[in-house]
Amino acid sequence: MFDDNKKTGVICGLTVGIYMFLLWMVQKELLFNLWVLNLSWLPYFYFIFISIKNHHQRQPDSDFRSMVRAGFIVYLIAQIFWYITFYLLFFEIDPQLREIQAEIELERIEESIGILGQERANEMARLLESAEGKMRPRDLIRQFIPSLLPGFIIAAIFALIVRRASE
């Protein structure tokens, strides 16, 4: 059974994936701009909220846990799409993106010397240079699991909002 939450998750994931591909097509460096990249959270917020709201409208007596589950399913599926898009862009379509990312991170470290201190900045730069180009697909899997926590938190917050608004 492919319920509404899963469909919403697919739509959210496709939206975020298309957004990333558009950034890549317009200017590769935009993929590393934190302000531009953080805009990809907007579809997550919108679709998670809509999913929880719709779930609550269909089942007004639903408990908090089922409301969180409805939103989290959307996030989980969308994250799978995000990581697939990331993998395709960085490992299949344009492996040069990993080099661009390393250069940008090195620049950010240099800009942060005042905050980090020279010794810490040098240590971080050495670690980055030793790891340059060594990002592997399995590293994405290791990043995926912890990336699920924000989705749970967002779903819980929105479930509380929807529940309180309906009381």
- Whether the CB-CB separation of 116 and 127 falls below 8 Å is answered with no
pTM of the predicted structure, to 2 decimals: 0.84
- pLDDT tens per residue across all 167 residues of the chain: 458 999 999 999 999 999 999 999 999 999 999 899 899 999 999 999 999 999 999 999 999 999 999 999 999 999 999 999 988 998 899 989 888 888 888 888 888 778 878 887 778 777 767 765 556 777 778 888 999 999 999 999 999 999 999 88
Nearest to 71 by CA among 45, 48, 50: 48
User: What's the alpha-carbon Rg for the chain, to the nearest Å?
Assistant: 19
> How far is C-alpha 102 from the chain's CA centre?
19
Looking at residue 95, what is its pLDDT? 86
| CA–CA dist 70, 67 (Å, integer) | 5
Task: Say which residue the tokens 């007004």 belong to.
Answer: 60
Position 132 scores a pLDDT of: 55
Who's near 64: CB < 8 A, 6+ residues apart?
A: 159, 160, 163
Q: Which helix (H) or strand (E) holds 33?
A: none
Cβ-contact 158, 64 below 8 angstroms: no
Give the separation between CA 23 and CA 37, rounded to whole angstroms: 9
Q: Retrieve residue 103's tokens.
A: 């250069």
**Structure tokens, 42:** 């907007």
The reported pLDDT for the residue numbered 1 is 40
- Cβ atoms within 10 A of the Cβ of 27, count? 10
Tell me if 15 sits within 8 A of 80, measured CB to CB: no
